[in-house]
Amino acid sequence: MSPMPQPPVPPGVTPGPVPTPVPAPVPVPTTGPAPTPTPVPVPTSGPPPTPAPVAPGTRLAARSLVKRFGATVALAGVDLDIAAGESVAVMGPSGSGKSTLLHCLAGILVPDSGAVLLEGQGVHAMNERDRSMLRRQRFGFVFQFGQLLSELPAVENVALAPMLNGASRKEAMALAAQWLGSLGLAGMETRRPGELSGGQAQRVAVARALITGPQVVFADEPTGALDQATGHDVMRVLTSTCRLAGATLVVVTHDAQVAAWCDRRVEVRDGRVVADVRRSA
Ligand SMILES: Nc1ncnc2c1ncn2[C@@H]1O[C@H](COP(=O)(O)OP(=O)(O)OP(=O)(O)O)[C@@H](O)[C@H]1O
Ligand SMILES: [Mg+2]
């Protein structure tokens, strides 16, 4: 096993006003009327089309991803290349397929057709056991309600991830305490999630997601249950920590200001990507 990653230099946890992120450009791909999205054939009769090659430097790629739930087509052919270290906000109306896309990219759901490639490795083709190992060892997750274990103190919630990957309890607890400290939670190690504010609990969730040194962190509405200022604080910590740790970040959000913390914004409508805008440097 590779050595466990140390927490990065405190990722911007200095108190004070939340810095205003550079606003992302409005995701209008062209001037004039909204473009009609190119129809992507959902059925898979006949030979599959040759997928577009994955660009060098791509960490995570989706090719012609289709996912149905009964008659509902949640993903209708998604292609996406996400570079190593890049942060991407996935936006779109409720029901447009954001969470389904995130779950397929993360190997939680298996697409009906198409491919998910992590460093060129086919996640979509792995069996449940390998996908589960992949999620534990190479991915990190932050959800809307943190999903911390309510009966465990903060430090144990964070230590659990390296322990599941084989670290000793002592080593995992020490590293977890370091992570909590680097995320501004020193002194709160023994508090249970119910004894933390929503923002503090999300910082614990960020520490838990990053402690294993994941290649990709997935976050589904990580600020959805927080007020705006606290949400920005969590995004600041999440984006800066991922950047320092070299982790790619995929964040689903409804909030354009939350998306503005990311390098790139992808808009999903009816299971298709309809806009993809990089923040100008
Ligand atoms: N497990 C499921 N069973 C049946 N239908 C599902 C399931 N998961 C998602 N869907 C359907 O697939 C479509 C896309 O859902 P998804 O959860 O990806 O949307 P979303 O963009 O994340 O929405 P929200 O912003 O409300 O979270 C919706 O029509 C939804 O009802
Ligand atoms: Mg969702």
Mention every residue, 6+ apart, whose C-beta is less than 8 A from residue 279. 22, 24, 25, 260, 262, 263, 264, 265
Q: pLDDT digits over 31-66, tens only?
A: 344 444 444 445 445 555 566 788 888 999 999 999
> Hey, whose CA ends up nearest to atom 7 of ligand 1?
69
Cβ burial 194-223 (10 Å sphere, 16+ → b, else e): eebebbbbbbbbbbbbbbbbbbbbbbbbbb
Walk along the chain (281 residues) and give the pLDDT tens digit of each residue: 455 566 664 444 443 333 334 333 333 333 344 444 444 445 445 555 566 788 888 999 999 999 999 999 999 999 999 999 999 999 999 999 999 999 999 999 999 999 999 998 999 999 999 999 999 999 999 988 768 999 999 999 999 999 999 999 999 999 999 999 999 999 999 999 999 999 999 999 999 999 999 999 999 999 988 899 899 989 999 999 999 999 999 999 999 999 999 999 999 999 999 999 998 76
Rounded to the nearest angstrom, the distance between the alpha carbon of 117 and the centre of ligand 2 is 22
The answer, yes or no, to whether any atom of ligand 1 lies below 6 A from the CB of 71, is no
Q: Report the CATH fold assignment for 58-278.
A: Rossmann fold (3.40.50)
The answer, yes or no, to whether any atom of ligand 1 lies below 6 A from the CB of 49, is no
Q: What is the pLDDT of residue 36?
A: 42
Q: What is the pLDDT of residue 48?
A: 55
Answer yes or no: pTM beyond 0.75.
yes
Rounded to the nearest angstrom, the distance between the alpha carbon of 275 and the centre of ligand 2 is 18
Measure Cα distances from 77 to 72, 74, 113 in Å: 13, 10, 9
The answer, yes or no, to whether any atom of ligand 1 lies below 6 A from the CB of 97, is yes
Can you tell me which atom of ligand 1 is nearest the CA of 221?
Answer: 27
Rounded to the nearest angstrom, the distance between the alpha carbon of 19 and the centre of ligand 1 is 33
Where do the structural domains in the chain lie, given as residue ranges? 58-278
Can you tell me which atom of ligand 1 is nearest the CA of 271?
Answer: 14
The answer, yes or no, to whether any atom of ligand 1 lies below 6 A from the CB of 94, is yes
Q: What is the pLDDT of residue 41?
A: 46
Q: What is the pLDDT of residue 57?
A: 86
**Cβ proximity of 271 and 73 under 8 Å:** yes
Rounded to the nearest angstrom, the distance between the alpha carbon of 99 and the centre of ligand 2 is 4
Rounded to the nearest angstrom, the distance between the alpha carbon of 198 and the centre of ligand 1 is 25
The answer, yes or no, to whether any atom of ligand 1 lies below 6 A from the CB of 127, is no
Q: What is the pLDDT of residue 18?
A: 37
> Hey, whose CA ends up nearest to atom 27 of ligand 1?
94
Our mutation pick for probing the ligand 1 site, out of 67, 68, 69, 250, counting the most ligand atoms within 8 A of Cβ, is 69
> Hey, whose CA ends up nearest to atom 18 of ligand 1?
97
> Hey, whose CA ends up nearest to atom 20 of ligand 1?
95
